[in-house]
Chain A
Amino acid sequence: SAVISQKPSRDICQRGTSLTIQCQVDSQVTMMFWYRQQPGQSLTLIATANQGSEATYESGFVIDKFPISRPNLTFSTLTVSNMSPEDSSIYLCSVGGGRFNEQFFGPGTRLTVL
């Protein structure tokens, strides 16, 4: 499986601020995804991060709120902008493709917004 790291592992932020989450994988992958896991809810895809092009967002998620970068085949960032308490969640990146035939998840970033 892939070795995936996320930074930060957790953070507590103030309303109205932004946080950038980093995702690093140990080998080149075709696909990188960003999911949100809210308490009592299903793990939900936010967007697919495409290398060299704009991210593809799922219904209900917009680029202004969740800008994503994918500068190369091993790294991506997700920014949670203008945060509110409703953004408190676990944010997970996942990877697939390249030498990986399945989708593997990082350890997650636990975000609390006060």
Chain B
Amino acid sequence: QKEVEQDPGPLSVPEGAIVSLNCTYSNSAFQYFMWYRQYSRKGPELLMYTYSSGNKEDGRFTAQVDKSSKYISLFIRDSQPSDSATYLCAMSATRSGANSKLTFGKGITLSVRP
């Protein structure tokens, strides 16, 4: 079993839809959770990060963590064509993403249709 599993894609939605992206993990040592966005032929860009269970909101994006179920989600409201990218969940066994190994899901490619 992989340490991090991410819902397979690709995912195609109409503009304005609410998007839900999900990852599960098996390693209970993970305590820091991140979402990266990667546009085609670019490096991953940090989108959101959190270390506590619950919701964290930033504009149209909400990151949700449920440590008891080992489940994290990213919600995108009012999706835009510019949100079309690959989304990667990442996790760390320390309380920081800066100084330690990140373990990634495989990523899911999202396409938002105008």
Interface residues in chain A, defined as those with a beta carbon under 8 Å from any beta carbon in chain B: 1, 4, 30-31, 33, 40-45, 48, 58, 92, 94, 96-97, 100-108, 110
Contact = CB atoms under 8 A, between A and B. Distances in A.
User: Which label, helix, strand, loop or mixed, suits the secondary structure of the B interface?
Assistant: loop
A45 B102 CA distance: 7
Given A40-B106, A41-B106, A102-B49, A58 B101 contact: yes
A105 B44 contact: yes
Interchain residue pairs A-B with the least CB separation, the first 4: A96-B98, A105-B43, A43-B104, A42-B104
Contact of A45 (B43, B88, B98, B101): B101
Contacts of B102: 33, 43, 45, 94, 103
Contacts of B34: 102-103
Per DSSP, chain A at the interface is strand
16 contacts: A4-B43, A30-B99, A33-B101, A42-B2, A42-B4, A42-B104, A45-B101, A48-B101, A92-B43, A94-B102, A96-B97, A102-B46, A104-B46, A106-B43, A107-B42, A108-B41
Residue of A1, A97, A104, A107 with highest tally of chain B CB at under 10 A: A104
A94 to B, nearest CB: 8
A4 to B, nearest CB: 8
B31 interface: no
B99 A42 contact: no
